[in-house]
Amino acid sequence: MREDEEEAMTDLLEKALDSKFPAGNSDEQLDRDSAVANSEEKPTHCSSLRASFLASFFTSTLSFFEKDSTSYSVERKPSKSRSNGWVATLKKVVTSGPMRRFQERILGTGRADTLSSTSDIWFLGRCYKLSLEESSNGCDPADGYAAFLEDFSSRIWITYRKGFDPIGDSKFTCDVNWGCMIRSSQMLVAQALILHHLGRSWKRPLQKPYDPQYIEILHLFGDSETSAFSIHNLLQAGRSYGLAAGSWLGPYAMCRTWETLARANKEQAEHEKCKENFPFVLYIVSGDEDGERGGAPVICMEIAARLCSDFSKGLLSWEPILLLVPLVLGLERINPRYIPLLLETFTFPQSVGILGGKPGTSTYIVGVQDNKALYLDPHEVQQAVDIKRDDLEADTSSYHCSMVRHLPLDTIDPSLAIGFYCRDKEDFEDLCTRASKLAEKSNGAPLFTVVHHLQPAKPIPYHDSFQVGAGYNNGVNAEDFDGIGDHVDHEDEWQLI
């Protein structure tokens, strides 16, 4: 195909798309302006089905053209130059800004609209006041919005990558179309690590050299077997839960996969007498053996205390703890009674977000405003990068995003997992108090409940090679938490959805 024909075809298609879906700004300008994406507020069932189909079509089409030729080990035969010309033209059109805007308009995931200028934003336990009337000090609401954007863009953003080393014995060198749940979970754990090592007030520095701890955290999520929390190692850890390259899994199996990987990391650190990469207890909160029968999971103080003791081999009475709470809050759609409860979890200072999204499409939900869920989207395809532990001048721009996307809370998949990080025992007690009060507001259908002890019929759901509490007296027991959770009615804690 001649160059002038190629350009004419490209221009024609792009003009047609632009006439129906005007951009207003280029993709690059959207990123520079930190534009906030919006979704359709009241989609019908038919439009949801249409969006689901189109999501599959566009994601597959876009990702096909974005894949690097090195992403496949299969040898390709040379084709005729004219065919190559058509392929090049189609690639240019399909991956162009107008086509992406067409995709975002149809799917309702990327329009350049702004968030409400009068409603508060709750973002990972912090409130950003955008209303002048509600501002306690009368400051400009724009300052609150700018502060929110700075906080948002400082979170670790982990997306599809291409061009990394093959995963295990497979030929997969990218995770497009199947790795979004893994990437979402990596973002949640990365946020917990940021809280643990750098604190909630940490913001991405503007100048180099960077903080060594920040670079270390990014290194842990690199795309190779040498990075502790890479997609390669997560796939290896999750084999018993059905996790495999090219397949998709739900939040519960993802949480259990992290439990397996954290245990393996701890055992390796003990064997090699080196620093642990997973520096806190991981507590998967469920109320039954498989965690997927519905009903309310139970945060048990006794279990938390014993897990902390096991983590330190009985040397310490308490340790930092990351709680992951897998939930099923409906059948095909989320039950509306749970939406106010989900909103309130983002007011907890222990919040590290939610693994969730639309059905079959996982995202990392980090905040709420009104009835909208704000999220970081892992579906952007980026080239794999290798952040070295000692490279304090590394380019980390691909791990941060200033595009705030949102979707209606009533459209999220009912299968999700909530995360909480507690730095110490006092922080855990505060979480339990907040959770108990939240359960009181639930009208008999709590997200989860809090108890001191497990009922005798329910064994401690601990999946480690250590025996719980064996061999040492740590001095920690449920009586240390008197006054928390006593008022929760447990007769109906297993309410079916």
User: Which residues are known to be catalytic?
Assistant: 180, 377, 379
CA-CA distance, 309 to 314, in Å (whole number)?
5
**Longest Cα–Cα distance in the chain:** 80
Residue 232 token pair:
């390669």
What residues have CB less than 8 Å from 256, skipping those under 6 apart? 238, 241, 284, 291, 463
List Cα–Cα distances, 321 to 243, 263, 308, 417, 428, in angstroms: 25, 14, 8, 16, 8
For residue 435, the Cα-to-chain-centroid distance in whole angstroms is: 21
Residues facing residue 458 across a β-bridge: none
Residue 7 token pair:
């350009």
Q: How far apart are the first and last CA of the chain?
A: 58
168 burial type by CB count under 10 A (0-12 exposed, 13-18 middle, 19+ buried): middle
CA-CA distance, 43 to 29, in Å (whole number)?
28
Cis peptide preceding 408, ω within 30 of 0:
no
Residues 325 and 296 sit within 8 Å (Cβ to Cβ) = no
CA-CA distance, 495 to 93, in Å (whole number)?
51
Residues 301 and 452 sit within 8 Å (Cβ to Cβ) = yes
Residues 444 and 490 sit within 8 Å (Cβ to Cβ) = no
CA-CA distance, 84 to 248, in Å (whole number)?
33
Residues 175 and 163 sit within 8 Å (Cβ to Cβ) = no
Helix then strand then coil, in percent of the chain rounded to 5, is 40, 15, 45
